[in-house]
Structure 1
Amino acid sequence: MPWKLSSEFTFDSAHVITGYDGPCGRLHGHTYRVRMELTSDRLRPSAHVKRAIMVADFKTLKWAKKDVDAGGLDHAYLNDLPDLGDDTTAEVIAAYLHRRTMDRVRADLPGGDDGADLRLHVTLWETPDSSCEYWE
């Protein structure tokens, strides 16, 4: 993969891990830090530039940074998200971020491009020294 696009951002959210026997079973929040790394064999156009000069638009990778009312995760109660529900562990959130981000990346691809060469690696920090990674 000759190109790797990296983006880091934070968002603040609250959650409860339902059924957890301990403090995480109570309402609490985190300043999550996320690193998205998208690799590609080639450059492509984007929604904002029609020439093949990008792996993807950085905006596409940072969607989760937006406020919950704008479709992101900032200031969200994660248990209210239908795709997460009671399963709001770092592992499940990282997989959710991966799935939703790849959906957005693929939606921006030009017709006839299935994005088969694109690979996304998500790292999610729940605290400064505890993280989870998810990739496909």
Structure 2
Amino acid sequence: MPWTLRTEFTFDSAHVIVGYDGPCGRLHGHTYRVRMELTSARLRPSEHVKRDIMVADFKTLKWAKKDIEKGGLDHAYLNDIEELGDDTTAEVVAAYIHRKTMERVRADLLPGDDGADLKLKVTLWETPDSSCEYWE
């Protein structure tokens, strides 16, 4: 792939890992750090510029850093997110962020562009030294 778009951001959220026998089974929070890496074989237009000069808009990749009331994950109680429910491990949250990001990226594509060349890798840190990577 000729282009890789990278961005990093943080968001703060709380959760409980239901059924976990230990401290993670109690309500606690994290300052999650996220790295997005989106690769593409070609450049495309975006909502804000109609020429083929972007892999994607950085705004599209950074949706999760928005406040929960604005559609992001910042200051969310992750267990309240229907698609996550009781499964709020780093692995499940990383896959969720991947899925929702790709939905947003694909929504920005022009008709006839299936985005087959777009590949996303999400790295999610729960702590400064514990992370999970998810990609398809």
Give SS of 1:13's match. Answer: strand
Secondary structure in 2 matching 1:35 = strand
Structure 1: which 5+ runs fail to align?
A: none
| Equivalent position SS for 1:46 | coil
Give the equivalent residue in structure 1 for 2:65: 65
Could you tell me which residue of structure 2 aligns to residue 102 of structure 1? Answer: 102
Name the CA distance, whole Å, in 2 between partners of 1:68 and 1:25.
Answer: 23
In structure 2, how many angstroms separate the alpha carbons of the residues matched to 1:16 and 1:50?
43
Letter of the structure 1 residue corresponding to residue 11 of structure 2: F
TM-score by length of 2: 1.00
Aligned match of 2:88: 88
Structure 2 residue aligned with 1:135: 135
Question: C-alpha distance in 1, partners of 2:86/2:48?
Answer: 37
Q: 1:111 — aligned with what? A: 111
Partner Cα distance (1:128, 1:55) in 2: 29
Q: For 1:109, what is the secondary structure of its paired residue? A: coil
Residue 74 of structure 2: aligned partner = 74
Q: Name the Cα RMSD after superposition.
A: 0.2
**What are the Cα deviations for residues 28-85 of structure 1, in whole angstroms up to 9, with x where unaligned?**
0000000000000000000111000000000000000000000000000000000100
Distance in 1 between the 2:116 and 2:41 partners? Answer: 10
TM-score (norm 1): 1.00
Instruction: List alignment gaps of at least 5 residues for structure 2.
Output: none
Structure-2 separation of matches of 1:43 and 1:111: 15
**Large movers: runs of 4+ above 4 Å:** none
Measure how far apart 1:105 and its partner are: 0.1
Q: 2:126: which partner in 1?
A: 126
